[in-house]
Amino acid sequence: ETGVTQSPTHLIKTRGQQVTLRCSSQSGHNTVSWYQQALGQGPQFIFQYYREEENGRGNFPPRFSGLQFPNYSSELNVNALELDDSALYLCASSSRAGVGGYTFGSGTRLTVV
C-alpha cells in the first residue's frame, strides 16, 4: 500500500508567478485536503476535495485553487505568488469520515523570491 506522495519536494518561484503542486492520494482514499505550514507555525487548512468537488475551504484567497481527478489525485494551484506564500504545503488523504483517518504526505517546500 503506497502512502501519499507529493511532487515536487522543493521548488523556487518568483513573486507574481503561478505554481502547481501535485498530490497522489493513498490507494483507496477519496478525500484529499491541502494545508499550508509557514515557518514556525502549525499547518493551516486551505481546502478539501471529495469526489472531485471542493467541499470545505479555509481562510485563503481565491488565487489558491485546486482540482481532484477521477483517480483521486489532486493539484493545488497558486496564482500571483507572494513572498508570504513561501511555506511547506501538505497534502492529506482519507478514505473515511473523520480526521483520524488522515494520511499526510511529506510536503512540497515552496520558496517565493
Partner 1 sequence: DQQVKQNSPSLSVQEGRISILNCDYTNSMFDYFLWYKKYPAEGPTFLISISSIKDKNEDGRFTVFLNKSAKHLSLHIVPSQPGDSAVYFCAAVVGAGSYQLTFGKGTKLSVIP
User: Least separation, in Å, of the C-beta of 106 and partner 1?
Assistant: 5
Q: For residue 50, what are the β-bridge partners?
A: 31, 53
Smaller CB separation from partner 1, 16 or 56: 56
Smaller CB separation from partner 1, 14 or 84: 84
Q: How far apart are CA 73 and CA 4, in angstroms?
A: 9
Cell of 104: 499526510
Q: How far apart are CA 104 and CA 113, in angstroms?
A: 27
Angle at 24 between CA 23 and CA 28, to 5 degrees: 140
Q: How far apart are CA 43 and CA 15, in angstroms?
A: 22
User: Least separation, in Å, of the C-beta of 53 and partner 1?
Assistant: 13
User: Least separation, in Å, of the C-beta of 15 and partner 1?
Assistant: 26
**Which residues contribute to the site for partner 1 (CB under 8 A)?**
4, 31, 33, 35, 40-45, 48, 56, 58, 90, 92, 94, 97-100, 102-107
Smaller CB separation from partner 1, 32 or 112: 32
